[in-house]
Chains A and B, each alone.
Chain A
Amino acid sequence: MSAEQNLTRDLDQIEGRAGTMLQGVESRAAFMAAGFRALPLLAAVPAAFVVAQLMRWAGGGEPVLLPLPFVLLLSLLAPGIPAARAAATARARRVSRSRALAEADRQLELADRLVTADEFLRHGARTGFQQAAVEDAARRSEAAAGAALEAPEAAIAGSRRLPAWGALSLVLLALSAWVSTFEPRPVGGGGVTEAAAAEAGEPLDEEAAEDAVTAEDRAAPAPPEAVPTERRAQDPAEAKRSESGEDVDDSVKESSGRTGAGRSSGALSSSAASESRSAPSTQGQSSKPAERDKKKRESKKKKERKAGDQPTPERRPEDEQSGATAGKGSSKGSNRNPTASEWQSKDQVTEVDDQEVEDDEDTDEDEEEQENRGGVQPSLRDRRPPVSRDLQIGFGNRPNPDANGRGGPSEQKKSRGVASLVLGVPVPDRVKGRPGPGPTKITQERIEPQAEEAGALAASARAARSRPVPALSSVELGPQLRELVRAYFLARRAAAPPASAPQ
């Protein structure tokens, strides 16, 4: 068997081992990555379970749906399913030969010898260096085929979130366990009132609180099997009361049976009172003493209302208009304060909401018109009227404010023709100067030259200086001039007799 065949066999073997190893690594990495991505499911399952428990409990049922260990198992399985799927997909993917050999090169520190030799082996005609590279790899491939390969560690993002999601999941499981301990609660009108009050964020008024307490007192000693009977007994009474409309306002009729959806806090505060007024009647058939107390309280309240509502004829419509009874309108009545309605007339009230609705309608109409015209048209609202064609003089650059742009007869014209072009504001001439001198005239004359006599000066020796000479600025000579001066002095020294040495 030749060296190249041995090399090919070794490369195949290395590729098989490295490929299997890389498949395992990729499968693990995919499992972990998908698992970390699906971490929210770890908390989603217990969260959904808690919500289901609460809904069932609110419906009056037993809050225990499933055993807690089963929920825990479901929570762990939820992120595991996509992780297992990703791992299976990664394992099914084949690792390329070059990648497997490159991994072996990297781990065995062969500097790409294996992957290079594998590539050169596929070449039909090899150069000297390529053949040398193949032979070089063949010398090392046998050792490489027997060497152990370690699975590289893949960095997986998202592992930091595991404690957070795990803790959240545990908290939800604990919450679920706590919810499981809840007693089944009765469902009735009092419950609706409580829910409405809780949603409004305001405490129940005294009557409602008392009613709730009474209802609980009544419900507590009653045997469990009595509860559905009581509920059945309440329902016809409530239906009867709603049909007769006895002692219940229209608005209350509309809002009964709803839990305050679509109301603002102000509306809820008032609707809570109105519902509380209707509540005793719904519960009054269960016990006689309670009914008597309620009727007493109700009659007392009616008296107070009559005393306080003497000007009832005007007040009643205002209450309706102010939305104090709530539940009537969704948003329009919500921010109307009944106390403010005493001085507000219908003409004065122009709600912002109303204005916005009108604006929206206008805009829609405009858009429709524009579409009918064949496209978006420029806004013509701010278009200014055409300028006046009156022959009236404005104020400086400003247009005449009396001009209405319609033309036609206006005030009597005070000027005509040329006079109308005269500037209304006199502008002084700001250019100052003097008239120019005019064209320059040059005259030439012929003059005979005249001789001038220069006075001859006799040369004289310069007198000795009486004071020391100050520092004189030395003139920097150019290189050529310096050479000339140097040559001159050298020539003079050469011509002069040698000076006697100083003693």
Chain B
Amino acid sequence: MTDSNADAARADAQRFRETYESIRAEVSRRMVGQTDVIEGVLTALLAGGHVLLEGVPGLGKTMLVSSLGEALKLSFSRIQFTPDMMPADVRGTSVLVESEGGGHELQFEQGPIVANLVLADEINRATPKTQSALLEAMQERQLTIGRRTIKLEEPFCVMATQNPVEQEGTYPLPEAQLDRFLFKLVVGYPEEGDYREILRRTTGEQEVELSSVSNAETINAMRSTVRQVPVPEHAEDYAIRLVMGTQPGSAYAPELVNRYVSLGSSPRGAQALLLGAKVKALLAGRFAVATEDIAAVARPVLRHRVLLGFEGLSEGVTTDQVVDEVLAKLPVPEEAAG
């Protein structure tokens, strides 16, 4: 404990905020509106997680991710998921090539997943077999193909998109896959005031060129800063109870959860809550996580980890309603302790 450590922490936090703001401003040059989505994507990227973007076509999901790739100067690859895609198309496979001596040999060709920023476009159009090709890469940050194991380069972030409508011919993501996404962000329609700017930028002669304002090293440093943010006990308790509140039958589950939810969040949900809350705390100019930071990221963290039962689906209950109910009914740890 020295003042120099505190000064270094303050400097790191200040640098974090400045870099974050510069990236957000650069991406916003091309993306009009959707502030929440941009901040959510950046938060997930800096927290070291992956993002699932859900929205109807034409809202700029793909453009957001590609803009982020340009602004961050990261290796970017795009995978357009289709029903006939195979796992080898994602991870890579060994191909037979002609050697110099006239012979043939098997040579490994890595797939598009080996990149810093991977856009998995319309991920729910691929079969579960292909979707599961992402599992190891997303969690372990490595690929195992035969006897070969490839360590993916940091930062590694999968940003997947899916369309909530046109469900025919799609394969909903399995729970194991969904759980690996730190955030699920719902991309909504732009505001009325944003439409004019969108039309002006996209139908004019000039195209917006983005410049890279950061790089992989900076992103890794920012991730390291996020990990250093301490979490007080009461905030930990709050995150744990929030996750338990989504589990039917638990002590903190409200009536809505017990009635309509069939599967609650896993401990990964609590990890995601704290990581997202750490980024929020830094952006708010604080040096420790507060309960309000956890509540701020509760929706994007928990909405895809809560599985509604049949009764909930038939009643039209949404997972956002479930999370809001848990937040409303969950007492802050100090109040509960009395």
Contacts and interface: CB of A to CB of B under 8 A. Distances in A.
Interface in B281-338: 284, 286-288, 290-292, 332, 334-335, 337-338
Contact of A115 (B228, B287, B334): B334
A249 interface: no
Interface stretch (A95-103, A209-217, A327-335, A492-500): A95-103
Interface stretch (A127-135, A156-164, A285-293): A127-135
A131 B3 contact: yes
Contacts of B8: 128
Contacts, number: 88
Interface stretch (B105-113, B133-141, B229-237): B229-237
B334 A99 contact: yes
A120 B1 CA distance: 11
Given A99-B334, A126-B1, A132 B10 contact: yes
Nearest to B286: A111
A136 interface: yes
A119 interface: yes
B83 to A, nearest CB: 22
Question: Main SS of the interface on chain A?
Answer: helix
Contact of B234 (A106, A112, A133): A112
Contacts of B7: 128
B97 interface: no
A502 to B, nearest CB: 42
A119 B234 CA distance: 9
Given A96-B338, A132-B13, A102 B234 contact: yes
A133 B332 contact: no
Contacts of A119: 232-234
A125 interface: yes
Contact of A128 (B228, B233, B286, B337): B228
A46 to B, nearest CB: 37
A226 to B, nearest CB: 71
Contact of B284 (A111, A130, A132): A111
Nearest to B282: A129
Contact of A129 (B9, B291, B292, B335): B9
A112 B287 contact: no
A8 interface: no
B6 A131 contact: yes
**Listed residue (A103, A113, A119, A128) with the most chain B CB atoms within 10 angstroms of its CB:** A128
Nearest to A111: B290
Contacts of B229: 129
A265 interface: no
B335 A99 contact: yes
Interface size class of B (residues with CB under 8 A): 20 to 34
Nearest to B235: A112
Interface residues of A, number: 27
Interface string B1-20: 11101111110010000000
Contacts of B232: 112, 115-116, 119-120
Interface in A76-109: 93, 95-96, 98-99, 101-103, 106
A386 to B, nearest CB: 54
Contacts of B10: 132
B335 A102 contact: yes
A79 B48 CA distance: 59
B337 A116 contact: no
B78 to A, nearest CB: 26
**Listed residue (B2, B235, B284, B338) with the most chain A CB atoms within 10 angstroms of its CB:** B338
Given A96-B337, A102-B234, A111-B284, A131 B1 contact: yes
Given A96-B337, A126-B1, A132-B10, A120 B230 contact: yes
8 contacts: A95-B338, A96-B338, A98-B337, A103-B334, A116-B290, A128-B7, A130-B230, A131-B3
3 residue pairs, one from A and one from B, having the closest CB atoms: A128-B5, A128-B9, A102-B334
Interface of A: 93, 95-96, 98-99, 101-103, 106, 111-113, 115-116, 119-120, 125-133, 135-136
Interface of B: 1-3, 5-10, 13, 228-230, 232-235, 284, 286-288, 290-292, 332, 334-335, 337-338
